[in-house]
Amino acid sequence: MFSVTGMQGFELFSVAHIAVLIVFLAACCALVYFSKKRKKHQQMIKWTLFILLPACEISSHIWLFLTNQWEVNDLPLQLCSISTALAIYLFLKKNEKVFYLFYFFATLPPILAMVTPEMVYTFPHFRFIEYFLHHSVLPLAALYFILYEGYRVPRNAILFTYITVNIIAVPIFILNQLLGTNFFYLANPTETKTILTFFGTGIIYYINLEIAALIVLVITYIPMGVLQRRDNLKKADGDIGNEGS
């Protein structure tokens, strides 16, 4: 399960792929269920997620080093690695603006990465387990911060995140040109067939990336908007009840 050439032949929406997506959904449901008894379970959930994030990131690099595969392309500058750093920071220190970025980086993008993964290994290869565990823990961490620590994201955070991503993309793009890397997939689409494969080439690719990024941000915000509307309704009902009493 740790070999470079063994257990290859990953198939999109195979039994193993669908099973891991179901496990992820079950974990989300469990997180929601245990939030009703947050005082009892919060610390266990918090530190489990906290430990899993660096464990996935570090173990991935160790495997690459030990199998002589590590390259400059494996520097922790992909969105997944950046999201991991943001999550670790948030577990240690409360910061609303950092959570804005983490929410948009670590919810829909990792889920899309699980639905159409850049993967060649199948279960139970280490890379398969690490990839799906890592990409599952990120949205689970975002859900934890929302349910257990009360984080919320305002609508104007969409523009804030969009501008921030484009600012980050500039040095990343230059770095890609200098090192021949593909961080943020700004050089070209993935090698395996994913959603990015259909974005075209050249300037069309970058236009589609910008459009897709904005669409993803808006879609990602929708459940947060619904949640905040529900919070406002509860607050309004509570105010009415207090006035009546």
| Cα–Cα distance measured from residue 139 to residue 153, given in angstroms and rounded to the nearest whole number | 15
Cα separation values, 132 from 67, 149, 171, 193, 214, Å: 20, 25, 28, 17, 25
* Mean pLDDT to the nearest integer, 195-217: 82
Enter the tokens of residue 110. Answer: 């990792």
Over residues 121-174, the pLDDT tens digits come to 999 999 999 999 999 999 999 999 999 998 999 999 999 999 999 999 899 989
Q: What is the pLDDT of residue 231?
A: 80
- Check whether 39 has a pLDDT greater than 90: no
3-state per-residue secondary structure call for the chain: CCCCCCCECCCCCCHHHHHHHHHHHHHHHHHHHHHHHHHHHHHHHHHHHHHHHHHHHHHHHHHHHHCCCCCHHHCCCCHHHHHHHHHHHHHHCCCHHHHHHHHHHHCHHHHHHHHCCCCCECCCCHHHHHHHHHHHHHHHHHHHHHHHHCCCCCCCHHHHHHHHHHHHHHHHHHHHHHHCCCHHHCCCCCCCCCHHHHHCCHHHHHHHHHHHHHHHHHHHHHHHHHHHHHHHHHHHHHHHHHHHC
Q: What is the pLDDT of residue 47?
A: 94
Bond from prior residue into 189 cis (ω within 30 degrees of 0):
no
Question: What are the φ and ψ backbone dihedral angles of 121, each rounded to 5 degrees?
Answer: -90, 150
Residue 203's pLDDT band (cuts 50, 70, 90): confident
Length of the chain: 245
Side-chain half-sphere of 220: how many Cα atoms within 13 Å? 30
